[in-house]
């Protein structure tokens, strides 16, 4: 299904796979993340509304990423991965570094969260590049 050159199936698949990746990422690094964020287990239990909001944000991210990739002139695995990596480097991790430094958060939090968003974007870029 296409929407003005955007393959909505690739958006849905990219968001879903990235959402699952996030669950695995924080499942593995959950204790380290809680320590770095200064949170307790009780404070980090997501409610269904938070999970839904997270997935909707993943959908929006994938939709915007497919638009960026589409504007490169070709939708391939290579353009998907390069676009994702550049967006992460130029916007995502830089924003996290600034925010975490002003918040006084440890670098461990930046590394964990930054790694998550790099994984999310690379996964989304790969899916979009492969599906179209």
pLDDT exceeds cutoff 70 at 3 = no
> What's the pTM value of the predicted model, to 2 decimals?
0.93
3-class DSSP state of 2: strand
pLDDT exceeds cutoff 60 at 1 = no
Check the CA dihedral 110-67-77-8 and report its sign: positive
Domain ranges of the chain: 2-131
In this prediction, residue 73 carries a pLDDT of: 87
C-alpha–C-alpha distance, residues 92 and 51, integer Å:
20
The residues that bridge with 2 in the sheet, in sequence order, are 7
Region 110-122: mean pLDDT is 98
Segment 46-86, tens digit of pLDDT: 899 999 999 999 999 999 999 999 888 889 999 999 999 99
In this prediction, residue 106 carries a pLDDT of: 98
In this prediction, residue 7 carries a pLDDT of: 87
In this prediction, residue 6 carries a pLDDT of: 81
Segment 26-48, tens digit of pLDDT: 999 999 999 999 999 999 988 99
CA 82-85-91 angle, 5° bins? 130
Q: Give the percent of the chain with pLDDT over 90.
A: 88
CB 124 within 8 A of CB 64: no
């Amino acid at each position: 299904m296409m929407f003005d050159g955007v393959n909505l199936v690739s958006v849905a698949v990219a968001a879903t796979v990235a959402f699952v990746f996030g669950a695995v990422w924080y499942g593995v690094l959950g204790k380290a993340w809680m320590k770095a964020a200064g949170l307790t287990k009780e404070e980090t239990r997501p409610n269904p509304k938070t999970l839904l909001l997270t997935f909707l944000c993943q959908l929006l991210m994938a939709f915007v990423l497919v638009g960026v990739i589409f504007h490169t002139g070709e939708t391939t695995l290579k353009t998907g991965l390069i676009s994702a990596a550049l967006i992460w480097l130029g916007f995502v991790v830089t924003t996290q570094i600034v925010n975490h430094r002003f918040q006084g958060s440890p670098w461990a939090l930046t590394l964990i969260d930054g790694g998550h968003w790099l994984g999310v974007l690379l996964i989304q870029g790969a899916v979009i590049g492969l599906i179209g």
